Amino acid sequence: MPQTSPLMTVTGSTLVIAPSPRRRAARTPGPYGRLFALPGTRAFTAGNLLARLPMGMFGISAVMMIAGQRGSYALAGAVTATGLAATALVAPWTARLVDRYGQARIAVPATLVAVLGSLSLILCVRSQAPAWTLFASYAATATTPNIGGMSRARWTHLLRDSPAAHHTAMSFEQAADELCFMCGPVVAAFLCSAVFPEAGTLTAATLLLTGMLLFTSQRATQPPVSGHGHGRSPLRAIRPVLYLFLPLGLLFGSMEVTSIAYLDARGLGGATGLVLALQAAGSCAAGLLYGTLRPRSLRTCLVALSVAMALPWAATATGSLPLLAGALLLAGMATAPTMVTAMSRVHAVTPEGRLNEGMTLAVTAILAGIALGSATAGALIDHLGPTAPYALPAAAALLALAIASASTTKTLQR
């Protein structure tokens, strides 16, 4: 009979008992395992995450620092709004230079300018410098490169022959966005309140510079500079998609402001951070899950988003905080698939060599929508109370669906 026990061999006069080889089940790596098995991807992703976390820290850190030292939320809000406006103007130009001359060549000096702007803001606040110096310092941070766009450009270059893996990578990037914007404000608020008022801005600037240096040092995964970077602007090609990103931004801005006002009006302001974090956590989890599934059409994603955005509005009728938190969790879960699919449309229509600029234009459209949504929700809250404005995110989702349905181009439909 065949032996299944340890094997016996004789070497000279010595009997050697060797254990039989054990069968090991072949373990097939999942989509994300295969993604990060590619050389260099873990290193540039680590730098990407370090540099991306400050994106959720700078705004709240500046507000808490300026308001704490100058005693004026109006001044703090005006300074951060100026920085947002400057970013909308400067970011596409920075992205164009990145596409034209390469990530490392442009991103590092642009980041240094932004970090110097943050340090200048700290010094001006501490030294009681004139108010205009705060505006000038914070405006300088607009040169911060779009790290999310540069990371997506690397994945697109590495996975240009693998659509399924590219979908997984884009889903991961969207989940990373949500994670950083979920954790960033929490970290910033803790540092500014528990350490010292300038700690949030100082830490964010340090993380940004460190992460960007690590990211750009990974030259092997950097997309090659293309001669097409001198060609036509991607604005005309992606304009139909930009029309879609405006209502999506409006949705995000109005939902955040309305949730803050609703919870504060019911004496639940202390739960605001947790409730909003649930929404971001839902989006992060859904983004990672979506990366393992077959991509859906943009219209399908927008239908799901429209239904999900009506849930918080319905939950307010009950006055139950757990129901509202659950509704926001589900609403968040519908946003990541929509954003991943919409960003894929940007990738598909952006001219060769202009990908970073195209994605930065999309982000700029989202920021414009967020600003519009925040302002509109604030006005509605003042006139109608904190419950009725929950209809605004639902209306914005329906508007985005209408834009997608009305389009007959391949830009918005598969």
Q: Assess whether pLDDT exceeds 90 at residue 202.
A: yes
Cite the DSSP H helix spans in 1-146: 31-35, 41-52, 58-70, 73-101, 103-126, 131-140
The mean per-residue pLDDT over the stretch 261-268 comes to: 79
Question: Measured between alpha carbons, how far apart are the two ends of the chain, in Å?
Answer: 62
Based on the fold, state whether residues 248 and 193 are members of the same structural domain: no
Residue 412: per-residue pLDDT: 44
Task: State yes or no: pLDDT of 206 exceeds 80.
Answer: yes
Residues 147 and 122 in one domain: yes
- What does the pLDDT read at residue 51? 92
* Residue of 22 and 197 predicted with greater confidence: 197
Do residues 192 and 65 both lie within one domain? yes
For residues 311-326, give the mean pLDDT: 88
Question: Residue ranges of the alpha helices (H) in 191-225?
Answer: 199-216
253 assigned to some structural domain: yes
**Average pLDDT in the 63-79 region?**
80
CATH number assigned to the domain comprising residue 317: 1.20.1250.20
Structural domain boundaries enclosing 84: 41-222
Nearest to 39 by CA among 199, 213, 219: 219
Percent of the chain with pLDDT over 90: 21
Interval 68-87 mean pLDDT:
80
Please give the angle made by the CA atoms of 61, 365 and 91, to the nearest 5 degrees: 60
Instruction: State phi, psi for 18 to the nearest 5 degrees.
Output: -110, 135
Here the tokens at position 8 are 């016996």
Q: Tell whether 207 and 262 lie within a shared domain.
A: no
What pLDDT was estimated at residue 307? 94
Whether 250 contacts 266, CB under 8 Å: no
Please check whether residue 46 lies inside any domain of the structure: yes
> Residues 159, 201: one domain?
yes
What pLDDT score was predicted for residue 189?
78
Q: What DSSP string describes 325-364?
A: HHHHHHHHHHHHHHHHHHHHHHHHHSPTT-HHHHHHHHHH
pLDDT tens column, 121-131: 999 998 888 98
Mean pLDDT of the chain: 82
Q: What is the reported pLDDT for 26? A: 52
Pair (216, 258) in one structural domain: no
Overall average pLDDT of the 133-139 stretch: 91
Q: What are phi and psi of 315, to 5 degrees?
A: -65, -30
Last-in-domain residue among 168, 189, 222? 222
65 and 169 assigned to the same domain: yes
CA 49 to chain centre: 10
Question: Which of 176, 194, 222 lies at the terminal end of a domain, its last residue?
Answer: 222
The answer to whether residue 15 is domain-embedded is no
Q: Mean pLDDT, to the nearest integer, of 1-15? A: 47
CA dihedral of residues 133, 375, 361, 222 (deg, nearest 10): 70
Q: Is the pLDDT of residue 4 over 50?
A: no
Segment 73-100 mean pLDDT: 84
377 shares its domain with 257? yes
State yes or no: pLDDT of 235 exceeds 80: no
pLDDT tens digit sequence for 252-261: 888 887 887 8
Same domain, 204 and 255: no
CA angle 332, 337, 338 (to 5 degrees): 90
Tell me the per-residue pLDDT of 101-110, one tens digit each, with 9 for 90 and over.
888 899 999 9
Residue 4 in any domain: the answer is no
Question: Across 95-99, 165-169, 209-213, which has the greatest mean pLDDT?
Answer: 209-213
Q: With bands split at pLDDT 50, 70 and 90, how would you rate the model's confidence at 408?
A: very low
Is residue 191 classed exposed, middle or buried when 0-12, 13-18 and 19+ CB atoms within 10 A define those classes?
buried
Give a yes or no: residue 86 inside a domain.
Answer: yes
CA 227 to chain centre: 29
**Within this chain, do residues 187 and 284 fall inside the same structural domain, yes or no?**
no
Does residue 25 form part of some domain?
no
**pLDDT on residue 110:** 94
Within-domain flag for 142: yes
Our count of domains for the chain comes to 2
Residue 8's H or E segment, with its range, is strand 7-11
Mean local confidence (pLDDT), 90-113: 90
Structural domain includes residue 340 = yes
Band of pLDDT at residue 304, cut at 50, 70 and 90: very high
Render pLDDT for 356-399 as a digit per residue (tens, 0 to 9).
888 888 888 888 888 788 778 888 888 888 888 899 999 999 99
Does 15 have pLDDT greater than 50?
A: no
Asked whether residue 24 carries a pLDDT value surpassing 60, the answer given is no
With a cut of 90, say whether residue 405 has pLDDT above it.
no
